[in-house]
Amino acid sequence: MKRLLAQIGITYFSVLAAAFYLPEIAVVVIGGIAVILTVLFMIIRKTRRTIYIPLMALTVVIACAVHIGYGLIAVQPVVETYGDETHTVKAVLTEEPYQSYSKHYYRLKAQEVDGEKAGFKLLLKTPTDIDAEPDDILTFTSELKVSDNQYYRAKGYYLVSDDYGIEVETETPETHSLYYRAIQLRRFMRKSLDALLPSDCAALCRAVLIGDKYALSLDTRDHFRYAGASYFIVVSGMHFAVVIMLLFRLMKRLNRWVRFALIMAFIVLYAAVTGFQSSVLRAGIMMVFTVFGMTIRRQPYPLNHLGLAGTIMPFIVSPYGAGDVGLILSFFATMGILLWARPLLPKLCLKTKTGYIPFFHISEKLHYYKERKVERLPLKDKSKEPFSFRILLMKLWNSTAALLSVSLAANVMVFPISVFIFHEFSLVTLLSALLLYAEIYLILVLSLAVCILYPLGFLRYVAILLAYPLMWLCKLVLWLVDGIASLPFAHFRVGQAFIYAWLAVTVILGIVVILYRNHYRYLKYAVLCSLIILLGGGLTQQALQMNTFSLEVYSCDNGLCAGINKGGKLYLLQMDANTKQLYTLWDHLSSRYGSADVALCCNENEIRHFQLYRDDEFAISALLLYDKEQKYQNEANIVPFDKDCTYVVDDDVVIRLSVVNYTAVPYITAGERRILIIPPGCEIDDIPKELRTADVILLSQAQQGYDQLRCEDMIISDNSDLSMLSADALKDSYHHVFFTDQGDVRYRLR
């Protein structure tokens, strides 16, 4: 029965998570097939006797029904009533605002819409910093767009206000909620760490302790991502478990029910301080069952607890909440550890003549000593081999093997999911786990101790003393992450088409293994084959990208959107198009590149496009902006200019910017090629004569004066009939003339 409860919970959560990412019709088909299978399994005597088979099919039916029902009852009415229309909204700010790149994010709970009562969640994104605190009431008028972002939808934000020039009125409430006290505690913890540590070390401690990863610099976050160690800078179930088990050991002499009550209070408090993140709630539910079982002196069954957490979580958050990427990764990583960490350990350990294998948990070692004491045996087993340097090395390796088995078991489940969702993977994930695991959890424990001791009078000096080793630990971790992320071929990004092909091959291999006799024997070969295919594809794409140096002009109807792809890195040269076309293009670039090193705004009006779409999904390291009124001089990640200048991107790409009629005209030297971009609103007659000669010239539309341009090739981003009529005349003057009406144009630079 224990195994059955685990299977039901894991199946229920897995189906809900998959349904969130599948089309609605696919969920209906899966549910219909599951109904038929449930009936068949109940009719067939052989499967009816094995009760878990029909129960699994019934669980799939229930999960599909819950997903569809929630969409019809809770989501569709909100989307159809308020979506894609302008409304006056009165809402409560439920969480601390945060900033990512050039945008500020405000998570709201609507109270009234157009004077009528409402109760849905919405997200306000704006480049303007609104002076508002949690529990404040915000009133604004804006278009509420239906969110297509899976991350927001999983968090319950189905409507998003993404208004550039929004005006917001704020009102302070008379009383604050209980959760506001947890937010105040979170802020106090941040202030304590900021007061005792350098900014980079304090930011790392805040990320590890309370999940405040936005305090980390963009480069540091990228380094953790490239090193395959991003799970260290978010509060996951493993962080939670470390803290809870530490408290359990410290309070072991208290009455068990008093200890249970104190730990329950801490679980609720810590979950509130971390913002009730889904992964923390999942770990909290599991810890409640585990600690309760230990309190009533029952043997805990972690897989059972995971199954119960998978069943309860969608009711606490929402059925769509099962699609939260953080929760999915945390859930299946825990499942992998519980299923395979212990069986993997003996295969990785080195055995001595006495068959030495390290204890998998510290509790097992304590239990071993306790049994020997009860049996009046010496604590040290003299039958073991005497100490030697060889035995010491073997013990060190076996201790490392215990950590390696946990990392391998977690990655077996998480790796394919993360590749499918993020289209990238790291080859150094296991190395990062081995080198960073101990330091990260020491940082977690020391950060918590510092935050507790710092406000306690004379104990403040103890916190100051602890801050020194904490600072050096943080510097060590940052140095290690930087070094690991810099290793050759540490990080790969693969295309979506290849991901689907790889998943299809993996599924076929899995089916063959299941149908073949002795399939468990061949499972490791199927896994190895799948990894070889993925790694081979990643290496091939990486090798091809290393030699890539091309100019890409993207099809966006009317407007000019272009970039340089050098070795898989993207330098955006121009982004001018209508909002609808840009949204599709931005999504394409996000999935293909993930980020851009440099982007260029030729005039202040274009910055609106970047502010609308620049967020966590598409990072831009530096934004060059013509800023004639000097409004953006102090903005992070923005490099403003108000006169002619030259920007050196790297050894091969140099951008010369000439200001013509309040618009920057880019003249790029890319390798041995020269590129002139004539942005919209710029007349050819106004461009300096020395810039009118280039190897390739980009135009947003065919215009008068093109006979003054001297180039080999011309690319025009215009799909209008007028441009097509002038194509023949242009082709008489230049070697090649390309139009974006048939799709993207890729021009090889080297």
- Residue 581, pLDDT score: 63
User: Are both 526 and 610 inside the same structural domain?
Assistant: no
The token duo for 739 is: 């139009």
Which of the residue ranges 117-131, 525-539, 599-613 would you say has the lowest mean pLDDT? 599-613
Closest CA to 402 of 350, 455, 453: 350
Q: Quick one: pLDDT band at residue 355, thresholds 50, 70, 90?
A: low
First vs last Cα of the chain: how many Å apart? 65
Length of the chain: 750
- Residue 531, pLDDT score: 78
Give the chain's mean pLDDT: 78
- CA–CA gap between residue 447 and residue 215 (Å, rounded): 15
Where is mean pLDDT largest: 9-13, 656-660, 670-674, 678-682? 9-13
Q: Quick one: pLDDT band at residue 68, thresholds 50, 70, 90?
A: very high
Q: Which residue has the higher pLDDT, 129 or 374?
A: 129
Give mean pLDDT, residues 625-640: 73
Exposure string over 381-406, b if 16+ CB within 10 A, otherwise e:
eeeeeeeeeeeeebbeebeebbbbbb
* Cα dihedral 371, 375, 377, 382 sign: negative
Which helix (DSSP H) or strand (DSSP E) does residue 587 occupy?
helix 579-592
- CA–CA gap between residue 573 and residue 552 (Å, rounded): 10
Q: How many domains does the chain have?
A: 4
Domain that includes residue 513, residue range: 494-546
In eight-state DSSP terms, residue 740 is: G
In eight-state DSSP terms, residue 147 is: P
Residue pair 587/611 in contact by the 8 Å Cβ criterion? no
User: Are both 572 and 642 inside the same structural domain?
Assistant: yes
User: Are both 672 and 721 inside the same structural domain?
Assistant: yes
Q: Tell me the chain's radius of gyration from C-alpha atoms.
A: 29
- CA–CA gap between residue 682 and residue 700 (Å, rounded): 10
Helix residue ranges, H only, 486-518: 496-515
In eight-state DSSP terms, residue 319 is: G
Helix residue ranges, H only, 317-459: 325-336, 342-348, 362-374, 389-422, 429-453
Residue pair 171/192 in contact by the 8 Å Cβ criterion? no
Q: 176, 207, 233: which is the final residue of a domain?
A: 176
The token duo for 358 is: 């390290």
User: Are both 629 and 694 inside the same structural domain?
Assistant: yes
Asked if the structure places residue 53 within a domain, the reply is yes
User: Are both 637 and 604 inside the same structural domain?
Assistant: yes
Asked if the structure places residue 581 within a domain, the reply is yes
- CA–CA gap between residue 718 and residue 555 (Å, rounded): 8
- CA–CA gap between residue 582 and residue 609 (Å, rounded): 8
Neighbours of 347 (CB within 10 A): 9
Asked if the structure places residue 221 within a domain, the reply is no
Which of the residue ranges 261-265, 357-361, 419-423 would you say has the lowest mean pLDDT? 357-361
Asked if the structure places residue 540 within a domain, the reply is yes
Give mean pLDDT, residues 537-563: 74
The token duo for 530 is: 């799948």
* Cα dihedral 87, 93, 94, 100 sign: positive
Give mean pLDDT, residues 144-159: 85
Neighbours of 511 (CB within 10 A): 11
Give mean pLDDT, residues 603-615: 59
Task: Give the CATH number, domain containing residue 601.
Answer: 3.60.15.10
Give, in degrees to the nearest 5, the angle at Cα 624 between 618 and 628. 135
363: pLDDT strictly greater than 50: no
Residue pair 579/613 in contact by the 8 Å Cβ criterion? no
Which helix (DSSP H) or strand (DSSP E) does residue 478 occupy?
helix 460-485
User: Are both 636 and 505 inside the same structural domain?
Assistant: no
Residue pair 283/237 in contact by the 8 Å Cβ criterion? yes
Asked if the structure places residue 603 within a domain, the reply is yes
- CA–CA gap between residue 135 and residue 694 (Å, rounded): 58
* Residue 205: strand, helix, or coil: helix
Q: 524, 546, 568: which is the final residue of a domain?
A: 546
* Beta pairing class for 663-670 and 653-660: antiparallel
Task: Give the CATH number, domain containing residue 156.
Answer: 2.40.50.120
387: pLDDT strictly greater than 70: no
Give, in degrees to the nearest 5, the angle at Cα 162 between 740 and 496. 50
User: Are both 91 and 72 inside the same structural domain?
Assistant: no
The H helix count followed by the E strand count for the chain is: 25, 24
Residue pair 430/484 in contact by the 8 Å Cβ criterion? no
User: Are both 685 and 581 inside the same structural domain?
Assistant: yes
Q: Tell me the CA distances in angstroms from 534 to 425, 479, 494, 529, one per residue in order.
A: 10, 29, 9, 9
Residue pair 350/357 in contact by the 8 Å Cβ criterion? no
Which of the residue ranges 36-50, 557-571, 714-728 would you say has the lowest mean pLDDT? 714-728
Q: Quick one: pLDDT band at residue 360, thresholds 50, 70, 90?
A: very low
In eight-state DSSP terms, residue 354 is: T
- CA–CA gap between residue 485 and residue 426 (Å, rounded): 9
Q: 79, 102, 134: which is the final residue of a domain?
A: 79
Q: Quick one: pLDDT band at residue 362, thresholds 50, 70, 90?
A: very low
Q: Which residue has the higher pLDDT, 516 or 212?
A: 212
In eight-state DSSP terms, residue 605 is: G
Asked if the structure places residue 57 within a domain, the reply is yes
DSSP string, 685-737: GGS-GGGSB-SEEEESS--TTGGG-B-SEEEE---SHHHHHTHHHHHHHSSEE
User: Are both 571 and 704 inside the same structural domain?
Assistant: yes
* Residue 668: strand, helix, or coil: strand
In eight-state DSSP terms, residue 72 is: I
Could you write out the three-class secondary structure of 414-448? HHHHHHHHHCEEECCHHHHHHHHHHHHHHHHHHHH
* Beta pairing class for 619-626 and 638-641: parallel
User: Are both 70 and 122 inside the same structural domain?
Assistant: no
Which helix (DSSP H) or strand (DSSP E) does residue 186 occupy?
helix 178-196
- Residue 359, pLDDT score: 45
User: By CB neighbour count within 10 A (0-12 exposed, 13-18 middle, 19+ buried), where does 604 fall?
Assistant: middle
Strand residue runs (E) in 7-74:
none
- CA–CA gap between residue 588 and residue 497 (Å, rounded): 13
For the segment 298-311, what is each residue's pLDDT rounded down to a tens digit? Answer: 777 888 888 888 88
Q: Which amino acid is it at 305?
A: H
- CA–CA gap between residue 471 and residue 491 (Å, rounded): 28
Asked if the structure places residue 12 within a domain, the reply is yes
- CA–CA gap between residue 354 and residue 658 (Å, rounded): 78
Strand partners, 141: 88
Q: Quick one: pLDDT band at residue 735, thresholds 50, 70, 90?
A: low
pTM: 0.78
User: Are both 121 and 74 inside the same structural domain?
Assistant: no
User: Are both 531 and 561 inside the same structural domain?
Assistant: no
What count of Cα atoms within 13 Å lies in the side-chain half-sphere of residue 51?
A: 5
Residue pair 697/747 in contact by the 8 Å Cβ criterion? no
For the segment 469-499, what is each residue's pLDDT rounded down to a tens digit? Answer: 999 999 999 999 888 888 877 777 777 777 7
Asked if the structure places residue 17 within a domain, the reply is yes
- CA–CA gap between residue 500 and residue 423 (Å, rounded): 10
- CA–CA gap between residue 267 and residue 252 (Å, rounded): 17
